[in-house]
Structure 1
Amino acid sequence: MKKIIPVYFSILSFLFLSCNAQVKQNDIPIKEEVKNYTFETVASDIETPWGMTWLPDGSLLVTEKSGILYQIKKNTKTKIKNVPKVYSNGQGGLLDIALHPDYAKNGWIYMTYSSDEGEGDGGNTKLIRAKLVNGSLTQIESLYKATPNTTKGQHFGSRIVFDNEGYLYFSIGERGDHFVNPQDIKRDGGKIYRLNDDGSIPKDNPFVGNPGAKKAIYSYGHRNTQGMAKHPTTGAIWTHEHGPQGGDEINIIKKAANYGWPVVTYGIDYDGTTISKEKEKPGIENPIYYWVPSIAPSGMTFVTSEIYPDWKGHLLVGSLKFQYLELVKLKGNQVIGRQKIATDIGRVRNVAQGPDGFIYMAVEGKGILKIIPN
Structure 2
Amino acid sequence: MRALVAAGLLLASAACSTPPPGGNAPSKVPPPQGLKVEEVATGLEHGWDVGFRKDGSILVTERPGRLKLVRNGQVTPVDIDLTDVKVQGEGGLMGLVIHPDDQRFTVCYNTVSDVRLVTFRLDGTKATKTKNLLTGMPSNPSGRHSGCRPTLAPDGTMFVATGDIAQGRNPQDRTSLGGKVLRIDAETGEGAKDNPFAQSANANERRVYTYGHRNVQGVVVRPDSGQVFSSEHGPDVDDEVNLLKAGANYGWDPSKGGTQGGYDESVPMTDLKRFPDAVPAVWSSGSPTEAICQPAFWHGKLAVTALKGTKLLLFTLDAQGEVQNVSIPDQLNDKYGRLRAARTAPDGSLYLTTSNGSNDKLLRLTEDG
TM superposition score normalised by structure 1: 0.81
For residue 201 of structure 1, report the CA deviation from its aligned partner.
2.9
For residue 150 of structure 1, report the CA deviation from its aligned partner.
3.6
Tell me the equivalent position of 2:286: 292
1-structure distance, mates of 2:310, 2:105: 30
Q: What is the aligned counterpart of 2:267 among 275, 285, 290?
A: 275
- Structure with larger Rg: 1
Tell me the equivalent position of 2:62: 64
The answer as to whether partners of 2:252 and 2:267 remain within 8 angstroms in 1 is no
Q: What is the aligned counterpart of 1:111 among 93, 107, 113?
A: 107
The alignment's C-alpha RMSD in Å is 2.6
Q: Aligned pair 1:219/2:210, yes or no?
A: yes
The higher-RCO structure (CA 8 Å, 6+ apart) is: 2
1-structure distance, mates of 2:208, 2:140: 20
In the alignment of these two chains, the number of paired residues is 331
The answer as to whether partners of 1:326 and 1:340 remain within 8 angstroms in 2 is yes
The answer as to whether partners of 2:80 and 2:126 remain within 8 angstroms in 1 is yes
The answer as to whether partners of 1:28 and 1:336 remain within 8 angstroms in 2 is no
2-structure distance, mates of 1:338, 1:111: 31
2-structure distance, mates of 1:113, 1:273: 25
1-structure distance, mates of 2:253, 2:344: 33
2-structure distance, mates of 1:75, 1:244: 37
Tell me the equivalent position of 1:323: 310
Tell me the equivalent position of 2:186: 197
Tell me the equivalent position of 2:14: 32
Q: Percent identity?
A: 28
1-structure distance, mates of 2:63, 2:131: 20
The answer as to whether partners of 1:163 and 1:235 remain within 8 angstroms in 2 is no
Tell me the equivalent position of 1:151: 141
Amino acid at match of 2:354: V
Tell me the equivalent position of 2:127: 137
Q: 1:187 to 1:273 in 2, by over 3 A?
A: closer
Q: Aligned pair 1:96/2:88, yes or no?
A: no
For residue 91 of structure 1, report the CA deviation from its aligned partner.
0.5
2-structure distance, mates of 1:37, 1:260: 37
Q: 1:202 to 1:355 in 2, by over 3 A?
A: closer
Q: 1:218 to 1:55 in 2, by over 3 A?
A: same
Q: 1:273 to 1:155 in 2, by over 3 A?
A: closer
Q: Aligned pair 1:181/2:179, yes or no?
A: no
For residue 204 of structure 1, report the CA deviation from its aligned partner.
2.8
For residue 109 of structure 1, report the CA deviation from its aligned partner.
1.0
TM superposition score normalised by structure 2: 0.83
Tell me the equivalent position of 2:297: 302
Superposed counterparts of 1:326-341, under 5 Å: 326-332=313-319, 333-341=321-329
For residue 129 of structure 1, report the CA deviation from its aligned partner.
1.3
Tell me the equivalent position of 2:344: 353
Q: Secondary structure of the equivalent of 1:78?
A: strand
2-structure distance, mates of 1:149, 1:273: 19
1-structure distance, mates of 2:34, 2:98: 32
Over residues 329-358 of structure 1, what are the superposed CA-to-partner deviations in whole Å (9 max), with x where a residue is unaligned?
222211111111211121001122212222
Q: What is the aligned counterpart of 2:46 among 28, 35, 48?
A: 48
- Structure 2: gaps (5+ residues): 16-30, 257-262
Q: Secondary structure of the equivalent of 1:26?
A: helix
The answer as to whether partners of 1:264 and 1:279 remain within 8 angstroms in 2 is no
Q: Secondary structure of the equivalent of 2:328?
A: strand
Tell me the equivalent position of 1:3: none
Q: What is the aligned counterpart of 2:224 among 211, 216, 233?
A: 233
* Range 334-343 or range 25-34, more displaced: 25-34
For residue 264 of structure 1, report the CA deviation from its aligned partner.
11
The answer as to whether partners of 1:110 and 1:129 remain within 8 angstroms in 2 is yes
For residue 250 of structure 1, report the CA deviation from its aligned partner.
1.0
